[in-house]
Amino acid sequence: MKILILLLVILSVVRCKTPEARYPVSQNSGSYIDESVERNKEMIAKEEDYIKQVMGENTDTEYLSSADGFWYYYNNKSTDSTNTRTPEFGDMVVFDYSISTIEGETIYAEGDKPTREYSMDKEKLFTGLRQGLKLMKEGETVTFLFPSHKAFGYYGDKEKIGSNVPITAKVTLHEIKEESELETNN
One digit per residue, the tens of pLDDT, for the chain of length 186 reads 777 777 667 766 666 556 677 776 666 666 788 888 899 999 999 999 999 999 999 999 999 999 999 999 999 998 888 888 999 999 999 999 999 999 999 999 988 888 999 999 999 999 999 999 999 999 999 999 999 999 999 898 988 999 999 999 999 999 999 876 655 565
Amino acid found at 26: S
- 141-153 burial code (b ≥16 CB/10 A, e <16): bbbbbbbbbbbbb
DSSP string, 153-177: TTTTTSSS--TT--EEEEEEEEEEE
Whole-number Å distance between alpha carbons of 15 and 8 = 10
Close Cβ partners of 129 (under 8 Å, ≥ 6 residues apart): 97, 144, 146, 169, 171
- Domains of the chain with bracketed CATH: 64-185 (3.10.50.40)
Nearest to 133 by CA among 179, 186, 169, 83: 169
Contact 147, 47 (CB under 8 A): yes
Contact 99, 169 (CB under 8 A): yes
Distance of CA 31 to the CA centre of its chain: 25
Per-residue confidence (pLDDT) for residue 179, from 0 to 100: 76
Q: What is the pTM of this model?
A: 0.79
Q: CB atoms < 10 A from the CB of 127, how many?
A: 16
Number of H helices, E strands in the chain: 4, 7
Whole-number Å distance between alpha carbons of 86 and 136 = 6
Per-residue confidence (pLDDT) for residue 55, from 0 to 100: 94
Whole-number Å distance between alpha carbons of 130 and 118 = 9
